[in-house]
């Protein structure tokens, strides 16, 4: 059990039909005094599962964007620090121990980036395309903004880094995953078409705007550059997922630029 003073740390999680994931996530948060969950009116067993954890407080809000949902959640955090997690982030024991050490030892940082170990139904990948993101930060110094299909944290102050990693292990069905990616592709297409987008000229976005090259690039990059061809079915599954995502982006761009179809 990690010894952290009262009102120093609470967790924030967003949920919507996370039945396959949420129990594994909350099992690793029992050491926290309070976990705030902003639920977008789940209609599976997500709420029933969460109600079995005495340290979990469920607050309901209709979903609009990830950033707005997170910022709403931050207004309900009463601790100095917040651990802001996705509903498929599982904390290994070494990450939990390091969190306690960082908070108890103090320091000059107001936030900490975490790297991720990507798992496919519990099997670790040799490598993945995820990037570090700040998950632990001082509550009053952070706020979120939307960035295409993603949400980013704006933080005031210096950011440190965790040595340990979080396990990213999403076990939702393929049908649910495809539904999510469909919505994400609309927002990402809008971002790619935005002439003021600061990331417009990154290598991957230049490839995406060709509407041809990105799916091939991601397929071969995952399999051969990242070495997932040696990762069995888990590596093949992840590679196909990433390739499908790029195909959806390409189809959205073709609709918008060639057929003048706008999807919202």
At 152, which CATH number?
3.90.550.10
| Greater pLDDT, 196 or 253 | 253
Residue 237 lies in a domain: yes
Residue 263 lies in a domain: no
Mean of the pLDDT values across residues 207-236? 96
The number of folded domains in the chain is: 2
Tell me: the pLDDT tens digits for 123-175? Answer: 999 998 889 999 999 999 999 999 887 899 999 999 999 999 999 999 999 99
For residue 158, the enclosing domain spans 9-168
Do 163 and 147 belong to one domain?
Answer: yes
Last residue of a domain, one of 168, 187, 206: 168
Residue 3 lies in a domain: no
Contacts made by residues 46-54, CB under 8 angstroms, sequence distance 24+ = 46/15, 46/16, 46/17, 46/18, 46/19, 46/22, 49/19, 49/22, 49/23, 50/15, 50/22, 50/26, 53/26, 53/29
N-to-C CA span, the chain: 47
Contact (Cβ atoms closer than 8 angstroms) between residue 90 and residue 28: yes
Do 80 and 130 belong to one domain?
Answer: yes
Is the confidence at residue 98, as pLDDT, over 90?
yes
Per-residue CA distances from 224 to 6, 40, 126, 174 (Å)? 48, 39, 11, 24
Q: What percent of the chain has pLDDT over 90?
A: 84
Last residue of a domain, one of 168, 194, 225: 168
Say how far apart CA 28 and CA 95 lie, in whole Å. 10
Is the confidence at residue 236, as pLDDT, over 90?
yes
pTM: 0.93
Is the confidence at residue 227, as pLDDT, over 60?
yes
Structure tokens at 65: 């964007």
Is the confidence at residue 3, as pLDDT, over 80?
no
Query: What pLDDT shows up at residue 264?
Result: 59
Task: Please state the separation of Cα 234 from the chain's center in Å.
Answer: 19
Say how far apart CA 214 and CA 232 lie, in whole Å. 23
**Strands 159-168 and 111-120, how do they pair?**
parallel
Query: What pLDDT shows up at residue 175?
Result: 95
Query: What pLDDT shows up at residue 5?
Result: 72
Strands of 9-80 (E only): list them.
9-15, 35-39, 56-60
Residue 24 lies in a domain: yes
- Token pair 């997170």 in the structure block, residue: 70
Say how far apart CA 13 and CA 90 lie, in whole Å. 12
Mean of the pLDDT values across residues 189-207? 88
Do 133 and 23 belong to one domain?
Answer: yes
Residue 2 lies in a domain: no
């Amino acid at each position: 059990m990690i010894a952290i003073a009262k009102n120093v740390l609470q967790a924030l999680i967003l949920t919507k039909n996370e039945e396959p994931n949420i129990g594994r996530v909350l099992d690793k948060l029992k050491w926290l005094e309070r976990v705030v969950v902003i639920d977008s009116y789940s209609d599976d067993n997500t709420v029933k599962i969460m109600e079995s954890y005495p340290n979990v407080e469920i607050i309901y809000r209709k979903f609009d964007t990830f950033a707005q949902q997170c910022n709403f959640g931050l207004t309900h955090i009463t601790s100095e620090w917040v651990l802001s997690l996705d509903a498929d982030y599982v904390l290994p024991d070494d990450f939990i121990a390091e969190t306690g050490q960082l908070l108890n030892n103090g320091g000059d940082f107001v936030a900490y980036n975490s790297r991720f170990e990507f798992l496919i139904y519990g099997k670790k990948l040799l490598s993945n395309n995820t990037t570090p993101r700040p998950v632990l930060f001082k509550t009053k110094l952070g706020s979120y903004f939307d960035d295409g299909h993603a949400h980013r944290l704006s933080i005031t102050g210096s950011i440190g880094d965790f040595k340990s990693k979080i396990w990213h292990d999403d076990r939702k069905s393929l049908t649910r995953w495809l539904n999510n990616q469909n919505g994400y592709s609309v927002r990402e297409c809008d971002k790619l078409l935005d002439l003021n987008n600061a990331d417009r000229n990154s290598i991957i976005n230049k490839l995406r705007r060709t509407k041809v090259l990105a799916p091939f690039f991601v397929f071969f990059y995952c399999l051969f550059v990242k070495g997932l061809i040696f990762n069995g079915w888990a590596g093949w599954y992840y590679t196909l997922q990433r390739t499908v995502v790029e195909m959806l982006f390409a189809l959205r761009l073709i609709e918008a630029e060639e057929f003048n179809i706008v999807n919202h």
